[in-house]
Amino acid sequence: MGIINLWNKTKLYRLYQKMRGNPELLSSKDFWLEVLTTAWNIKEIREMLKGYKTYIVAILTAALTLLHSLGYIDDTLYQSLLALLAAGAVGTVAAKINRLSLPK
């Protein structure tokens, strides 16, 4: 484990402790952005997600469709989020094709 991964894991733990003491942070976009960027910088998490990004996008799409059909989100938000997920899906498929086409 490198020093950068150790620092990021410590930072992620500090963010978790900060959230436990202040539940209002759960609604803060900046807090979640910091948590996600810190988690993404940890190499083990990236390695763990290596083969599952397409499945994660599919699950998020299904959850978004369920929320829309139950009436929790309106059509405009649904279309916007669905476009973002579609772009993510195209990116994951393109990355998979690039990995398959490279000679080993």
pLDDT digits (tens, 9 = 90+) for 49-67: 777 888 888 899 999 999 9
- Which letter does DSSP use for residue 27 in this model? G
Tokens of 20: 């436990």
Number of domains composing the chain: 2
Name every residue whose Cβ is closer than 8 Å to that of residue 32 and which is 6 or more positions away in sequence. Answer: none
How far is the C-alpha of 68 from the C-alpha of 62, rounded, in Å? 10
Contact by Cβ (8 Å): 64, 85: yes
Whether this model's pTM surpasses 0.75 = no
Residues 62 and 43 in one domain: no
Residues 97 and 60 in one domain: yes
Domain coverage including residue 11: 3-48
pLDDT over 70 at 69, yes or no:
yes
pLDDT digits (tens, 9 = 90+) for 18-32: 888 888 887 888 888
